[in-house]
Structure 1
């Protein structure tokens, strides 16, 4: 799998077509996931403006600081046949973009554009309405190509290899931070370019879904929620949660973990083309609610994943959008008992032509170490 597969030249034309269809005159894509998705260029987010200008018609071009020009020309963006417009330290790149665009009524700004840049564009293009480029790009980014699915599958296998090592790191007497340090090193050793997050939540900390880590000492008999992920050098992300126990856990925990396991399986089995995002959420939520733990499942069932760890589609009540082949997202129900403990099971899945593929394959049973 090459960068040509993940960032095909044809993507730029598809983006221009979608931009025109949306009634937007141009997209302005600064460093971040939108720029990388369209061009393959992982530009540095600097105070100096780098911006891919994608007009609804006509030729796209890349504004780059002159000192960043070699990096831009060496990136996959060079395959697109773009003009690279280098600007010097005394130039105003926003004025350059405005002059080249001419009179425009509506522009789409990269969703992760810094406020500094968006306000400068507003001043340079005072007559243009600003909207989010995501309103155009989400439709393309949600539908993963076979190459993108392969990249996510590779990321899933890499993070699975880390979860298989977790029992070596977990033991009573170690702090969450010590365990997290070992996990982060294992994430890098597995082939990830970076460990984007490591959650090690022991005992009562497990009841906080985004706990992170602390200097708390892990005790015997405690459940520990391990939620980890990163991104590969190609930009595609991993994310998987498993729950462990250091010795035999409390009986009440074992009881609700079994409920959680059934809920996660039910939600995965609900995935198929045409099914709504909210019905996949309901498949997990109903199992948990029927067992009496509904008030303890306090977040959505899942989020899309790709070149970002969180992106469309979101698996949540109120989202009636139907699943399509190529949609990739997490399924991660959780049960959290404040002050005591919690549990979560998370897989990344892909909607296929006739069902679902799980990209994480490590055991979802409670692992006692």
Structure 2
């Protein structure tokens, strides 16, 4: 990535804000192992290994990054190398957990990364038996949930990239091909259009379209099949894409056309409900009410959306019971679905709450796309 872009996405001042939040939460330190929290704080996209890599952010005192000696060059070359952070390299015969514990002798509580391997959390517990462990998400959530302008730009770039893939789907969906064959071509397109990783490819044809998280199968796509295509990946920036559109190979069933139009209206209503001060449960209700009034309520059985950023699924979740007011910078999917059984449909865009409303990150036609 361009160094200027990297600095905007992962500003050095972020570490100080995390340390302030750690102290405000009354924690002795955060222990951030490879994963989205470590990357958010330092820009370091570290490999998850059995060897410990851990950014230690104490409530008071200097942060430090513990790394296996063989990973030290990679850490130094990452954006973390530009931070004013001591890198503590450990050798194969060292105990890195004891090393961290030795530097935090007075810690009464520590926040462990939400995505830390359990075996590592247990090793920390053994090394620091008097320190209560809590999820680091208690500190990190409030920072990560509101995206900066640079993060929104990264999500916008991811949205444009996955839009380009969806525009290629009609040429790939043909009767006689299997879901797996189509999925393979889509995965290649996801990388070709700028993603560094393919996170998921759902190609649900016919009755498989009624399973929201359907895996690719060897089912042969038949004439008249509705097909749900839900795809996403991770960009070099670390930020994710996620978009769902609906296709039909040949003439669609009449009942499918009818409820797809209901779904389109429901997704539109939910997007229009997004603005500062609105609650996630109100956005969920905006979609759910349209679907229920049309008689399909029992066939919409998942939440309306999930937050997105350095993870495909993160806070905030767009679901009944979530009354936390939306704020500018919050980014999430809006993806109601209807799944009667013989087939199904879902329409999904990534939406960002703005100062005066919302911005969609995806712009491909949301109508039913019929492939002749």
For 1:367, the equivalent position in structure 2 comes to 369
The Cα shift of 1:279 comes to: 0.3
Which residue in 2 is equivalent to 1:248?
A: 251
User: Runs of 4+ in structure 1 displaced over 4 angstroms?
Assistant: none
Q: Counterpart of 1:226?
A: 229
Across the aligned residues of Structure 1 and Structure 2, the Cα RMSD in angstroms comes to: 0.6
Q: Which runs of 5+ in 2 are unaligned?
A: none
The alpha-carbon deviation at position 109 of structure 1 amounts to 0.4
How far, CA to CA, are the matches of 1:312 and 1:135 in structure 2?
12
Superposition pairs for residues 1-369 of structure 1, below 5 Å?
2-338=5-341, 340-369=342-371
Q: Return the offset for 1:194.
A: 1.0
Structure 1 residue 114: Cα displacement: 0.2
Q: Distance in 2 between matches of 1:57 and 1:305?
A: 31
The separation in 1 between residues aligned to 2:62 and 2:83, in whole angstroms, is: 11
In the TM superposition, residue 57 of structure 1 has moved relative to its aligned partner by 1.3
Q: Is there any run of 5+ residues in structure 1 with no aligned partner, and where?
A: none
Output the CA distance in 2 between the equivalents of 1:267 and 1:157. 21
Distance 2:251 2:286 in 1: 29
**Structure 2 SS opposite 1:225:** strand
CA distance in 2, matches of 1:142, 1:79: 25
Q: Partners in 2 of 1:56 and 1:281 — Cα distance?
A: 38
Give the Cα separation in 1 of the matches to 2:251 and 2:25. 56
**Match of 2:339, SS?**
strand
What is the rounded CA distance, in whole Å, between the counterparts of 1:80 and 1:142 in structure 2? 23
What CA distance in whole angstroms lies between the structure 1 residues aligned with 2:36 and 2:77? 18
Shift of residue 4, structure 1, vs aligned partner? 0.2
Cα distance in 2 between the residues matched to 1:98 and 1:312:
31
Residues 241-273 of structure 1 deviation map (CA, whole Å, 9 limit, x = unaligned): 001000111111111001100000000000000
CA distance in 2, matches of 1:226, 1:181: 13
How many Å apart are 1:337 and its aligned residue?
1.4
Distance between the aligned counterparts of 1:283 and 1:12, measured in 2?
38
CA–CA distance in structure 2, aligned partners of residues 4 and 13 of structure 1: 15
Summarize deviations over 1:48-83 as a string: whole Å, max 9, x none. Answer: 000000001111000000000000000000111110
